Structure 1
Amino acid sequence: MDPVIIVGAGPVGLALSLALARHAVPTVLLDDRPAGDAEEDGRPAGPRPARTVVLRPHTAAFVDRLGAADARERGAPYTAWRVLRGGRTQVRVEFGEAAEPPPLHLSQYALTTTLAALAENSKHVEVFRGSRLTELVREPYGVNAGTRAGTWWRGSWLVGCDGARSTVRKLLEVQYAGRTAVERHAVAAVRADLPWPGEGVLYRGTPRSGPGAECLARPLGDDRWRLDWLLPPGAGVVTPEALVARLEATLRVWTGTRHPSYELLDTGVHTVHHRLARRWRRGRVLLAGDAAHLVGSLGTQQLDEGLADAENLAWKLGRAWHLAGRDDSGDDLVDTYVTERRGAVSARLRAADQVGTLLRRAGGLRAAVRGRSAAELLTDGHLGRGRIGGPPVYDTAPAGLAGAVEVGTPAGARVADVQVIAPDGWTGRLSERLGGDPLLVLVAPGTRVWDRTRWLQAGLMPKLVRLVGELPARARLLVAEAYPGAAPHTVLYIRPDGHLMAAVAGVREESLRLCANRMLGRADDAED
Structure 2
Amino acid sequence: MDPVIIVGAGPVGLSLALALARQDVPSVLLDEGPGHDEQRAARTVVLREDTTALLERLTGMPLAEAGLRWSGWRSMRRRQVVREVTFRSPGARERHESGYGTTDTLKNADDGPGAAEEPAPLHLAQHVLTGALRHAIAREPLVKVAVESRLDLLEQEASGVTAHTRGPRGTWWRGSFLVGCDGPRSTVRKLLDIRFPGRTAVERHAVAALRTELPWPDRALLHRAPPWRTSWPSGGEVSARPLPQGVWRLDWLLPPGKDLVTPEVLVTLIRETLAGWHEGTTPPYELLDTGVHTVHHRLARRWRAGRVFLAGDAAHLLGALGTQGLDEGLRDIDNLAWKLGIAWHHSPRKALLDSYQAERRAVVADRLRAADQALPQLRGGGLRALVPGSARGHDALLAHAHLGQGALGAPGAYANSPLAPASAESAVPVDTAPGERIADVRVTAEDGSSVRLWDRLGRGSLLVVLVAPGTGVWERKHWLSAGIMPRLAAAVTALPHPAELLVAEGYPGAAPHTVLLVRPDGHLVTALSGVRPADLYQAAEATVGGTAPEQATANAS
Picking from 104, 114, 128, the partner of 1:110 is: 128
Picking from 435, 441, 457, the partner of 2:465 is: 441
The unaligned stretches of length 5 or more in structure 2 are: 92-115, 549-557
CA contact (8 A) 2:228 2:276 kept: no
**2:14 is the counterpart of 1:3:** no
Q: Match of 1:519? A: 543
Give the partner amino acid of 2:522: G
**2:83 is the counterpart of 1:90:** yes
Deviation string, structure 1 residues 112-159 (Cα, Å, up to 9, x no partner): 111112222211100000111111111111111011244101111111
User: How far apart, CA to CA, are the structure 2 residues paired with 1:444 and 1:503?
Assistant: 14
Deviation string, structure 1 residues 67-107 (Cα, Å, up to 9, x no partner): 24154421111112222222314344535426422211011
Distance 1:468 1:216, change over 3 A: same
**2:33 is the counterpart of 1:60:** no
Q: Match of 2:217? A: 197
Q: TM-score, normalised by structure 2?
A: 0.88
User: How far apart, CA to CA, are the structure 2 residues paired with 1:29 and 1:491?
Assistant: 39
Q: CA deviation at 1:460?
A: 1.7
Q: CA deviation at 1:521?
A: 1.5
**2:237 is the counterpart of 1:245:** no
Q: Secondary structure at the match of 1:416?
A: coil
Q: CA deviation at 1:428?
A: 2.1
Q: CA deviation at 1:454?
A: 2.0
| Aligned pairs for 1:370-389 within 5 A | 373-389=393-409
Q: Match of 1:80? A: 72
Q: Secondary structure at the match of 1:448?
A: helix
User: How far apart, CA to CA, are the structure 2 residues paired with 1:89 and 1:426?
Assistant: 47
Picking from 381, 393, 400, the partner of 1:362 is: 381
CA contact (8 A) 1:156 1:321 kept: yes
User: How far apart, CA to CA, are the structure 1 residues paired with 2:282 and 2:131?
Assistant: 38
Q: Secondary structure at the match of 2:5?
A: strand
CA contact (8 A) 1:48 1:266 kept: yes
The unaligned stretches of length 5 or more in structure 1 are: 39-44
| Aligned pairs for 1:422-433 within 5 A | 422-433=445-456
**2:361 is the counterpart of 1:337:** no
Distance 1:364 1:466, change over 3 A: farther
**2:197 is the counterpart of 1:177:** yes
Q: Secondary structure at the match of 1:341?
A: helix
Q: Match of 1:292? A: 315
Picking from 457, 460, 473, the partner of 2:484 is: 460
Distance 1:478 1:74, change over 3 A: same
Q: CA deviation at 1:403?
A: 0.8
User: How far apart, CA to CA, are the structure 2 residues paired with 1:218 and 1:259?
Assistant: 18
CA contact (8 A) 1:467 1:509 kept: yes
User: How far apart, CA to CA, are the structure 2 residues paired with 1:369 and 1:344?
Assistant: 28
Q: Match of 1:13? A: 13
Q: Match of 1:42? A: none
Q: Greater relative contact order: 1 or 2 (C-alpha under 8 angstroms, separation 6 or more)?
A: 2
Deviation string, structure 1 residues 175-215 (Cα, Å, up to 9, x no partner): 11000010101111111211221122211136896534311
Q: Which moved more, 1:262-271 or 1:76-85?
A: 76-85
Q: Match of 2:496? A: 472
Q: CA deviation at 1:336?
A: 0.6
Give the partner amino acid of 2:29: L
User: How far apart, CA to CA, are the structure 1 residues paired with 2:196 and 2:220?
Assistant: 33
User: How far apart, CA to CA, are the structure 2 residues paired with 1:225 and 1:95?
Assistant: 24
Deviation string, structure 1 residues 48-73 (Cα, Å, up to 9, x no partner): 11000001000000001102415442
Q: CA deviation at 1:230?
A: 0.8
Q: TM-score, normalised by structure 1?
A: 0.93
Q: Which moved more, 1:48-57 or 1:75-84?
A: 75-84
User: How far apart, CA to CA, are the structure 2 residues paired with 1:24 and 1:106?
Assistant: 29
User: How far apart, CA to CA, are the structure 2 residues paired with 1:364 and 1:247?
Assistant: 33
CA contact (8 A) 1:34 1:129 kept: yes
| Aligned pairs for 1:496-511 within 5 A | 496-511=520-535
Q: Secondary structure at the match of 2:352?
A: helix
Picking from 188, 192, 197, the partner of 1:168 is: 188
CA contact (8 A) 1:81 1:92 kept: no
Q: How many residues align?
A: 512
Q: CA deviation at 1:318?
A: 0.6
Q: Match of 2:137? A: 119
User: How far apart, CA to CA, are the structure 2 residues paired with 1:351 and 1:480?
Assistant: 36
* % identity of equivalent residues: 55
